[in-house]
């Protein structure tokens, strides 16, 4: 009888162990395999950033206090773009959002951990597509450069904020990684932010669910005052009324930057000076 009791206790502890493991993994993205972006805009999860885990696992970075340690941002960078009209940029942002939905489902990302916003950041002949950030603390890989001040100011502004995790901040920091040592030339930058109106589950969003929102700024209900306005990161907003229905655009000649260069945990490019 005593042996039977010990066996029952053993099975009970095994059950508790498996249950704790299941609870710990509940809602976590499945990062066992890399899934490249399959859409024509190439939007995909920054897989290496997500795999890196909490910032205390990366040398020199502060510990994350977030419940979800993996930081999830979906990004793409395209060159050779040419002229893009406002309604086309809005459509590109919407298509980028839907590509994010497709890629996120491959990683089985929980709907509560899915970024809510996709930002299209257009300048010169380049477009950066970057989502808002979910999980962990705000990205800190742009410390001690031209965007660092914005990161610090946008983490805890007086007005409502996303703690420097908004799509505009993701895009600005990607810009800094691509053009280190340079100042963002606001004269050539416009932006559009797209968010899903599907409040029940953005991961099942369809084109009809998507809405164009003004970029994050105090006048639009939150954000950092240093982001939007003349002489700031975003020189000109693409407003919701600029998009009245589906439009077509050509991606002929567009070149996607490799994620080994674009990822936030990739080596920073060679430092240059000047202004674009």
Query: How many residues in total does the chain contain?
Result: 276
DSSP state of 199: -
CA 117 to chain centroid? 8
pLDDT for 274 equals 36
Query: 165-199 pLDDT, tens per residue?
Result: 888 888 888 888 888 777 777 767 778 888 888 88
8 A C-beta contact, residue 222 and residue 159: yes
8 A C-beta contact, residue 130 and residue 229: no
Low-confidence residues in the chain, pLDDT < 50: 4, 8-26, 56-66, 270-276
pLDDT for 270 equals 44
CA 218 to chain centroid? 21
As a whole number of angstroms, the distance between CA 276 and CA 65 comes to 36
pLDDT for 217 equals 64
pLDDT for 25 equals 41
pLDDT for 33 equals 95
pLDDT for 23 equals 35
pLDDT for 227 equals 78
As a whole number of angstroms, the distance between CA 128 and CA 177 comes to 12
Q: Report percent pLDDT > 70 for the chain.
A: 72
pLDDT for 273 equals 35
8 A C-beta contact, residue 155 and residue 163: yes
């Amino acid at each position: 009888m005593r042996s039977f009791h010990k066996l029952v206790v053993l099975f009970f502890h095994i059950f508790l162990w498996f249950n704790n493991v299941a609870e710990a993994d509940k809602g976590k993205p499945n990062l066992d395999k890399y899934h490249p972006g399959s859409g024509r805009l190439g939007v995909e999860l920054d897989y290496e950033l997500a795999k890196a885990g909490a910032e205390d696992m990366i040398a020199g970075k502060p510990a994350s206090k977030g419940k979800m340690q993996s930081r999830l941002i979906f990004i793409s960078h395209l060159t050779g773009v040419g002229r893009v009209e406002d309604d086309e940029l809005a459509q590109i942002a919407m298509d980028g959002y839907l590509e994010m939905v497709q890629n996120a489902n491959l990683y089985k990302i929980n709907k509560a951990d899915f970024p809510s916003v996709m930002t299209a950041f257009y300048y010169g002949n380049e477009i950066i597509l970057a989502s808002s950030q979910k999980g962990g603390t705000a990205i800190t890989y742009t410390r001690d450069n031209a965007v660092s001040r914005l990161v610090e100011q946008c983490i805890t502004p007086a007005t409502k904020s996303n703690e420097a995790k908004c799509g505009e901040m993701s895009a600005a920091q990607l810009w800094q990684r691509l053009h280190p040592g340079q100042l963002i030339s606001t004269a050539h930058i416009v932006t559009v932010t797209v968010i899903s109106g599907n409040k029940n589950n953005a991961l099942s969003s369809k084109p009809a669910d998507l809405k164009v929102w003004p970029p994050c700024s105090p006048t639009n209900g939150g954000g950092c005052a240093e982001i939007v306005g003349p002489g700031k990161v975003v020189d000109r907003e693409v407003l919701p009324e600029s998009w009245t229905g589906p439009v077509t655009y050509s991606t002929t000649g567009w070149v996607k930057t490799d994620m080994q260069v674009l990822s936030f945990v990739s080596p920073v490019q060679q430092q240059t000076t000047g202004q674009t």
